[in-house]
């Protein structure tokens, strides 16, 4: 992996929410690397901060949230003096959330697809109007040309009869079709990064399969990177090449997708994997005990983070007086495999 | 499916262990579509359209399907939470004997509802926010007149402990609890009158993965402890596979396949089931075999296609599929399929060689 | 269940019920909070609304005035001071003509002539002695609520038996009545007509809205269309015609009651819609179905499961309809078709301020307007605060 492959590098991102009840450290020092053309899966349950991380990347954090620290380096490909291949490094964390620069990035270089397609689209404008708006804004082409591009995009997302759908309103489409329309909107300007925040959670499993398949083929065609956020480990296995596991605002494990399933190191990751029903075992061993290895306890109150490692109260391998006192550092337990856990910290970090 | 003799309820209370606990027969629920000021009926949404299956004592039957297939409506009809349009629901009630729930009057329904209970999907909507846990869990006991006063409090304490909550929580209100804990409360309420049969309407769909596991374990534990029978309605196929002994797959109001869990998932015989199996995202990073991807959209229950409802999306469809509706028949021991070509097709399941 | 406020109210209030997992995990800390029933939660949420707190205080003061009007007013509202009619508000001073500081006081008045119009006017007699405004002064006789005779007034000016120093803080009207005293007494009518009207509207709205929401179908359609028609009618003309039809020679109380009834004709409609809407949405809630499956009777379901769900909305709707009633009565009486003298209400008092000349020359006759505005504003703030607090279980 050379430097040239890196598209986005998030370093020590901190995003806090200032509520009347207290401060919630939604993202507490997250490090992520998104590589060009590859899919990074971000796995975690509710409250782990994965969605806020992606919103931070686009400076879309809603009030009363605020990015309090860290860097988000975007290696933006530019054309200068007629020669492509130049890279501009922009720290998104330093950009003004309302400024021109971030608006130039949103929808253009980095796009986002959300979970609920119905609320992602304006109900009173046609699909075509919403797609072309983005194209005209960023590429400055004429309305007619933008419409051509929009129809082309709808065809690419395998929408049946794109020239008719382009004049439909969102309520006229089914859930799966709406999600395709949203994807078409997001990709209309050929971004180099697509952020997908649980895009298939609200869909039926057969529609989900179609959308996942679509996203993989589009990635092939356009060569874009995908930041795929989900809580579904099955989807991660299907879509991601690299995986990051988050818990309470921190990244606790980071490696490629094969390793995360075959050799998970962090107790939380292992807990997650053992608590999901594994279809293989269910079918091939129908008589074995039907108990899942659940993680005990619950996610702690976000206003009172436990001292030390946030997972310590629930961890089956907790080391008393260490895990509940000192926060573990991120170490490279194996080449390309990072864990934030005291069990592995006698291995020196890279 | 055994023949249904038309009989009214018997007075004997003893249930035979060979007879199924629940026999659903040709259940239908149609919702009228009304238009205009005078609310004229212009059509019917056939939410449940001729559903038949059995549930045996002590087993868990999973009811799966995608949105709009009618699985939730089926569960609610069985409980008479909504009234079926037609069909029979034979149930071995401990007090009344074998009765057809669909035909009972109000008084008898109340008796039957002591032994058939329900767990709901949304932990935030299924508990009255203005009642304490004691009142919520005690409500069935009080309303059914089973026990009174001090005994109710004891029983509530017992139920809360059973589901893993502290008995002193009974003075608290639901807003004090998380989603997983609320489902435990709902379970305590469902089990308070010591039922025999529980309809679980997507009980873990709204929960996080780690909490799901806790609740699934709890359901299993309760089943063993109290000798319960479950009808598990869900859309998450891995969860259904984990907890069910047998599975029924529904599509647009009809059961298209009914078999043991292992059979459904490894050797499905209906093309729709095959597509479902193929679509499940497995937590297994190895590359998959070629997928069966469905085209088109789910059929509209208000205006379903002719013949077999699935034929427009089925890659194995033939002429007969467009004209004649197939019936549910037994093509292998205890394996029922609704497909003209079931006997001749060989379909792939979700099974994978082990890691 | 403890009713004490938690230790640090500002920190404790909590956006519960929200599905955002940021706040999903229950804290182990505050048992008070976990055991807090609906009304406790509503109260805590209400207390956060600053304007509503102010409104509560101001309205509290207003209604104390309503109750103790006889005691709080400096003068008898019906007493005419013929010599001192149409007097501008007296100058309440704290610094005298010599520049010395005293507690609030007034100078006596001396009769003179206006230099231009040659009309008799009263001016401050800065040479007279200082008359401090004191508390608990003996003055005009009254019977508190018609029962308890007394002559003690909250504040006034102590004078020698033969001198008279008018303490007309808001001036006097054309018949020589003290404006402030009349305003205080007028509050009795103006601020209670609203309440009575609202209770009538409450019953009508609850019953009709309940029928519409619970039974649906034809009953629902009919009731909703009736409401649509009523809401489309212009209120003031309708009120006027109905009020004008009331016989002139009826006793005050009877007129008052019927005016209240007329005002409630429209009041129930909004409430009925609110009740119906809430009923329709509550019917579909899972916990209502669960209650039915538990074997609860329909009566129980309505009273224990559904009614508590919209009681607070009813209170909000009622609170917000009170300003309309107040404005209604004021308008009707101002136009001469509502209450009439000798009944004292703010609207009746405004009958004197009906032409431009009056308003230009004696603007203090408009003081009742200020009180109407304040009362209406305060009820609106109160209603806003209640509305925000009404459903403590809803997200956001």
Q: Are C25 and A298 an interchain contact pair (Cβ–Cβ within 8 Å)?
A: yes
Q: Are B175 and C19 an interchain contact pair (Cβ–Cβ within 8 Å)?
A: no
What ipTM does this complex have? 0.85
- Residue located via tokens 């179905």: C289
**Average pLDDT, stretch B326-344?**
91
Lowest mean pLDDT across A225-239, C265-279, C285-299, C382-396: C382-396
Reported as a single tens digit per residue, the pLDDT across C18-61 is 333 333 333 445 777 788 888 888 888 888 888 999 999 999 99
Q: Are B120 and C290 an interchain contact pair (Cβ–Cβ within 8 Å)?
A: yes
A293 touches B at CB < 8 Å: yes
- State the smallest CA–CA distance between residue B178 and chain A in angstroms: 9
d(CA A273, CA A267): 10
Q: Tokens representing C246?
A: 């009331």
At B120 the pLDDT is 94
- State the smallest CA–CA distance between residue C57 and chain A in angstroms: 25
At A287 the pLDDT is 60
In terms of C-beta distances under 8 Å and separation of at least 24 residues, what long-range contacts does A84-87 make, across chains too? A87/A4
At C20 the pLDDT is 34
- State the smallest CA–CA distance between residue B118 and chain C in angstroms: 8
Lowest mean pLDDT across B188-192, B205-209, C265-269: C265-269
First-to-last alpha carbon distance for chain A, in angstroms, is 16
Q: Are A238 and B235 an interchain contact pair (Cβ–Cβ within 8 Å)?
A: no
Query: In which band, very low, low, confident or very high, does the pLDDT at B163 lie, cut at 50, 70 and 90?
Result: very high
Interface test with B, best of C284, C290, C292, C394 (most B CBs within 10 A): C290
From chain C, pick out residues whose CB is under 8 angstroms from the CB of A47.
Answer: 21-22, 24-25
Q: Is the pLDDT of residue B83 over 80?
A: yes
Domain that holds residue B136: 121-194
**Average pLDDT, stretch C51-78?**
90
At A288 the pLDDT is 56
Bridge partners of residue A78, in order along the sequence? A86
In a domain, B24, yes or no: no
Q: Which segments of chain A have a pLDDT < 50?
A: 1-2, 348-350
B158 touches A at CB < 8 Å: no
At B149 the pLDDT is 83
In a domain, B171, yes or no: yes
Query: Beta strand A110-113 with A193-197: parallel, antiparallel or unpaired?
Result: parallel
At B351 the pLDDT is 67
Reported as a single tens digit per residue, the pLDDT across B35-69 is 776 667 888 888 999 899 999 999 999 999 988 88
Cβ atoms of C144 and C150 closer than 8 Å:
yes
Reported as a single tens digit per residue, the pLDDT across B104-146 is 988 889 899 999 999 999 999 999 998 999 999 999 999 888 7
Q: Are A292 and B213 an interchain contact pair (Cβ–Cβ within 8 Å)?
A: yes
Reported as a single tens digit per residue, the pLDDT across B344-353 is 888 888 765 4
A163 touches B at CB < 8 Å: no
At B5 the pLDDT is 39
Q: Which residues of C touch A (CB under 8 A)?
A: 10-15, 21-28
CA geometry: angle at B231 spanning A174 and A200, to 5°? 25
Query: Beta strand B60-64 with B246-251: parallel, antiparallel or unpaired?
Result: parallel
Interface test with A, best of B72, B124, B209, B247 (most A CBs within 10 A): B209
Q: Is the pLDDT of residue C11 over 50?
A: no
B126 touches C at CB < 8 Å: yes
What's the CA dihedral at C17, C21, C22, C28 to 10 degrees?
70
Compare CB distances from A46 to C15, C21, C28 and report the shortest one's residue: C21
In a domain, B241, yes or no: no
d(CA B45, CA B25): 20
CA geometry: angle at C122 spanning C117 and C124, to 5°? 125
At A349 the pLDDT is 43
Compare CB distances from B208 to A204, A231, A291 and report the shortest one's residue: A231
Compare CB distances from A45 to B209, B235, B261 and report the shortest one's residue: B209
Residues 6+ apart with CB under 8 A from C218: none
The structural domain count of chain B equals 1
- State the smallest CA–CA distance between residue A164 and chain C in angstroms: 37
At B286 the pLDDT is 82
Compare CB distances from B175 to C1, C17, C293 and report the shortest one's residue: C17
**Average pLDDT, stretch C215-237?**
86
Chains sharing 3 or more CB pairs under 8 A with chain C: A, B
Q: Is the pLDDT of residue C17 over 60?
A: no
At C394 the pLDDT is 63
Query: In which band, very low, low, confident or very high, does the pLDDT at C230 lie, cut at 50, 70 and 90?
Result: confident
From chain A, pick out residues whose CB is under 8 angstroms from the CB of B265.
Answer: 279, 282-283
How remote is the C-alpha of A339 from its chain's centroid? Answer: 19
Query: In which band, very low, low, confident or very high, does the pLDDT at C245 lie, cut at 50, 70 and 90?
Result: confident
Q: Are B350 and A238 an interchain contact pair (Cβ–Cβ within 8 Å)?
A: no
Compare CB distances from A206 to B214, B275, B350 and report the shortest one's residue: B275
From chain C, pick out residues whose CB is under 8 angstroms from the CB of B118.
Answer: 290, 293
Q: Are A282 and B238 an interchain contact pair (Cβ–Cβ within 8 Å)?
A: yes
From chain A, pick out residues whose CB is under 8 angstroms from the CB of B283.
Answer: 233-234, 236-237, 261, 273, 276, 278
Q: Are A261 and B350 an interchain contact pair (Cβ–Cβ within 8 Å)?
A: no
Q: Which residues of A touch C (CB under 8 A)?
A: 17, 19-22, 24, 26, 45-47, 298-304
**Average pLDDT, stretch C315-333?**
85
Compare CB distances from C286 to B113, B120, B178 and report the shortest one's residue: B120
A55 touches B at CB < 8 Å: no
- How far is CA B110 from each of CA A13, B21, B81, B143, rounded to the nearest angstrom? 58, 18, 11, 10
- State the smallest CA–CA distance between residue B213 and chain A in angstroms: 5
- State the smallest CA–CA distance between residue B321 and chain C in angstroms: 39
CB pairs under 8 A between A and B: 143
Interface test with C, best of A16, A301, A304, A311 (most C CBs within 10 A): A301
Compare CB distances from B126 to C17, C25, C287 and report the shortest one's residue: C287
Reported as a single tens digit per residue, the pLDDT across C123-181 is 777 777 777 778 888 888 888 887 888 888 888 887 777 777 788 888 888 888 888 99
At A233 the pLDDT is 92
Q: Are C25 and A299 an interchain contact pair (Cβ–Cβ within 8 Å)?
A: yes
Q: Are B291 and A213 an interchain contact pair (Cβ–Cβ within 8 Å)?
A: yes
Sign of the dihedral defined by the CA atoms of residues A278, A281, A284, A288, in that order: negative
Chains sharing 3 or more CB pairs under 8 A with chain A: B, C
Reported as a single tens digit per residue, the pLDDT across A11-33 is 999 999 998 778 889 999 999 99
% of chain C surpassing 90 pLDDT: 12
Q: Are A209 and B278 an interchain contact pair (Cβ–Cβ within 8 Å)?
A: yes
From chain C, pick out residues whose CB is under 8 angstroms from the CB of B189.
Answer: 290, 294
Domain coordinates in residue numbering, chain A = 110-188
Query: In which band, very low, low, confident or very high, does the pLDDT at C372 lie, cut at 50, 70 and 90?
Result: very high
- State the smallest CA–CA distance between residue B354 and chain A in angstroms: 7
d(CA C305, CA B253): 32
In a domain, B51, yes or no: no
In a domain, B71, yes or no: no
Cβ atoms of C209 and C271 closer than 8 Å:
yes
Query: In which band, very low, low, confident or very high, does the pLDDT at C107 lie, cut at 50, 70 and 90?
Result: confident
Q: Is the pLDDT of residue C377 over 90?
A: yes
Residues in B 18-77 with any Cβ partner in C closer than 8 A = 37
From chain B, pick out residues whose CB is under 8 angstroms from the CB of A177.
Answer: 297
**Residue in chain C nearest A302 by alpha carbon:** C22
- State the smallest CA–CA distance between residue A127 and chain B in angstroms: 19
At A83 the pLDDT is 62
Q: Is the pLDDT of residue B10 over 60?
A: no
d(CA C103, CA C92): 10
Cβ atoms of B268 and B349 closer than 8 Å:
yes
Sign of the dihedral defined by the CA atoms of residues B183, B185, B189, B191, in that order: positive
Q: Residue C263: name the closest of C216, C208, C175, C325 by CA.
A: C325
Q: Are B208 and C309 an interchain contact pair (Cβ–Cβ within 8 Å)?
A: no
At A219 the pLDDT is 92
Q: Are A276 and B213 an interchain contact pair (Cβ–Cβ within 8 Å)?
A: yes
Q: Which residues of C touch B (CB under 8 A)?
A: 1, 16-17, 19, 21, 24-26, 31, 33-38, 41, 221, 285-287, 289-297, 300, 304-305, 308-309, 393
% of chain B surpassing 70 pLDDT: 92
């Amino acid at each position: 992996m050379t430097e040239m492959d890196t598209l986005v590098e998030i370093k020590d991102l901190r995003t806090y929410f200032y509520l009347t009840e207290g401060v919630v450290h939604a993202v507490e020092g997250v490090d992520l690397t998104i590589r060009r053309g590859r899919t990074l899966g971000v796995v975690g349950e509710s409250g782990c901060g994965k969605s806020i991380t992606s919103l931070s990347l686009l400076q879309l954090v809603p009030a009363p949230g605020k990015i309090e620290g860290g860097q988000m380096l975007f290696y933006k490909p530019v054309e200068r003096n007629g020669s492509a291949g130049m890279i501009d490094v922009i720290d998104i964390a330093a950009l003004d959330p309302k400024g021109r620069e971030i608006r130039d990035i949103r929808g253009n270089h980095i796009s986002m697809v959300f979970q609920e397609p119905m609320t992602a689209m304006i109900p009173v404008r046609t699909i075509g109007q919403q797609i072309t708006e983005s194209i005209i804004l960023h590429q400055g082409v004429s309305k007619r040309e933008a419409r051509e591009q929009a129809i082309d995009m709808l065809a690419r997302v395998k929408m049946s009869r794109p020239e008719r759908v382009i004049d439909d309103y969102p309520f006229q489409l089914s859930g799966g079709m709406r999600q395709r329309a949203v994807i078409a909107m997001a990709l209309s300007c050929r971004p180099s990064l697509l952020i997908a925040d649980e895009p298939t959670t609200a869909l039926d499993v057969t529609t989900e399969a179609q959308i996942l398949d679509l996203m993989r083929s589009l990635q092939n065609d356009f060569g874009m990177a995908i930041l795929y956020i989900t809580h579904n480990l099955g989807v991660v296995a299907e879509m991601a090449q690299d995986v990051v596991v988050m818990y309470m605002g921190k990244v606790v494990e980071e490696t490629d997708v094969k390793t995360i399933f075959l050799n998970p190191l962090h107790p939380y990751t292992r807990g997650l994997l053992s608590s999901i029903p594994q279809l293989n075992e269910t079918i091939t061993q129908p008589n074995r005990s039907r108990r899942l290895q659940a993680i005990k306890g619950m996610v702690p109150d976000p206003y009172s983070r436990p001292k030390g490692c946030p997972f310590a109260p629930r961890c089956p391998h907790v080391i008393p007086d260490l895990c509940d006192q000192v926060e573990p550092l991120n170490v490279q337990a194996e080449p390309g495999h990072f864990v934030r856990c005291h069990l592995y910290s006698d291995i020196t970090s890279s | 499916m055994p023949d249904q003799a038309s009989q009214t309820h018997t007075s004997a209370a003893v249930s035979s262990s060979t007879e199924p606990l629940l026999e659903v027969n040709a259940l239908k629920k149609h919702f009228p579509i009304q238009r205009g000021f005078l609310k004229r009926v212009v059509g019917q949404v056939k939410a449940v359209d001729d559903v038949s299956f059995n549930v045996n004592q002590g087993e868990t039957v999973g009811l799966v399907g995608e949105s709009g297939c009618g699985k939730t409506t089926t569960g609610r009809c069985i409980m008479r939470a909504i009234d079926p349009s037609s069909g029979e629901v034979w149930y071995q009630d401990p007090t009344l004997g074998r009765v057809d729930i669909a035909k009972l009057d109000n008084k008898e329904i109340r008796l039957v509802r002591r032994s058939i209970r329900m767990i709901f999907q949304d932990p935030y909507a299924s508990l009255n926010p203005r009642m304490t846990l004691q009142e919520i869990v005690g409500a069935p006991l009080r309303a059914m007149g089973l026990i009174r006063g001090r005994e109710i409090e004891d029983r509530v304490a017992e139920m809360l402990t059973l589901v893993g909550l502290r008995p002193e929580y009974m003075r608290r209100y639901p807003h004090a609890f998380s989603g997983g804990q609320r489902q435990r409360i709902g379970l305590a309420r469902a089990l308070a009158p010591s039922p025999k049969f529980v309809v679980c309407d997507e009980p873990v769909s709204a929960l996080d993965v780690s909490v799901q596991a806790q609740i699934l374990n709890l359901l299993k534990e309760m089943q063993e402890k109290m000798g319960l029978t479950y009808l598990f309605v869900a859309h998450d196929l891995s969860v259904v596979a984990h907890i069910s002994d047998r599975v029924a797959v529904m599509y647009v109001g009809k059961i298209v396949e009914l078999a043991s869990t292992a059979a459904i998932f490894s050797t499905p015989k209906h093309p729709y089931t095959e597509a479902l199996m193929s679509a499940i995202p497995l937590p297994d990073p190895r590359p998959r075999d070629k997928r069966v991807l469905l085209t088109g959209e789910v059929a509209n229950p208000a205006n379903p296609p002719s013949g077999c409802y699935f034929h427009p999306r089925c890659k194995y469809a033939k002429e007969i599929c467009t004209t004649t509706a197939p019936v549910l028949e037994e093509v292998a021991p205890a394996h029922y399929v609704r497909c003209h070509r079931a006997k001749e097709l060989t379909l792939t399941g979700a099974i994978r060689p082990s890691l | 269940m403890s009713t004490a406020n938690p230790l640090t109210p500002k920190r404790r209030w909590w956006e519960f019920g929200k599905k955002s997992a940021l706040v999903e995990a229950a804290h182990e800390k505050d048992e008070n909070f976990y055991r807090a029933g609906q009304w406790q939660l509503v109260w805590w949420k209400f207390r956060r609304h600053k304007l509503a707190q102010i409104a509560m205080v101001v309205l509290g003061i207003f209604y104390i005035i309503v109750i103790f009007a006889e005691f709080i007013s400096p003068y008898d509202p019906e007493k005419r001071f013929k010599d001192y009619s149409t007097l501008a508000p007296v100058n309440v001073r704290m610094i005298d003509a010599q520049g010395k500081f005293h507690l609030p006081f007034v100078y006596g008045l001396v009769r003179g002539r206006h230099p231009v119009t040659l009309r008799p006017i009263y001016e401050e007699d800065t040479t007279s002695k200082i008359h401090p405004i004191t508390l608990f002064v003996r003055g005009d006789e009254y019977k508190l609520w018609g029962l308890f005779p007394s002559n003690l007034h909250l504040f006034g000016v102590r004078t020698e038996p033969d001198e008279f120093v008018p303490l007309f803080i808001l001036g006097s009207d054309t018949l020589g009545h003290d404006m402030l005293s009349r305003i205080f007494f007028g509050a009795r009518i103006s601020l209670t007509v609203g309440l009575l009207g609202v209770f009538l509207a409450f019953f009508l709205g609850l019953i009709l809205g309940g029928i519409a929401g619970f039974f649906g179908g034809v009953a629902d359609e009919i009731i909703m269309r009736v409401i649509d028609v009523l809401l489309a009618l212009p209120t003031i003309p309708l009120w006027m015609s109905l009020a004008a039809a009331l016989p002139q020679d009826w006793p005050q109380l009877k007129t008052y009651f019927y005016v209240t009834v007329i005002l409630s004709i429209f009041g129930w409609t909004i409430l009925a819609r609110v009740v119906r809407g809430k009923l329709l949405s509550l019917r579909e809630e899972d916990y209502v179905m669960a209650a039915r499956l538990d074997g609860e009777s329909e009566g129980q379901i309505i009273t224990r499961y559904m009614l508590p769900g919209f009681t607070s909305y009813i209170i909000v709707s009622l609170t917000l309809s009170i300003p309309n009633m107040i404005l209604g009565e004021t308008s009707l009486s101002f136009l001469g078709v509502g209450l009439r003298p000798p009944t004292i209400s703010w609207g009746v008092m405004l009958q004197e301020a009906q032409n431009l000349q009056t308003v230009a020359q004696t603007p203090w006759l408009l003081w009742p307007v200020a009180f109407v505005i304040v009362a209406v504003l305060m009820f609106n703030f109160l209603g806003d605060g209640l509305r925000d607090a009404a459903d403590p279980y809803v997200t956001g």
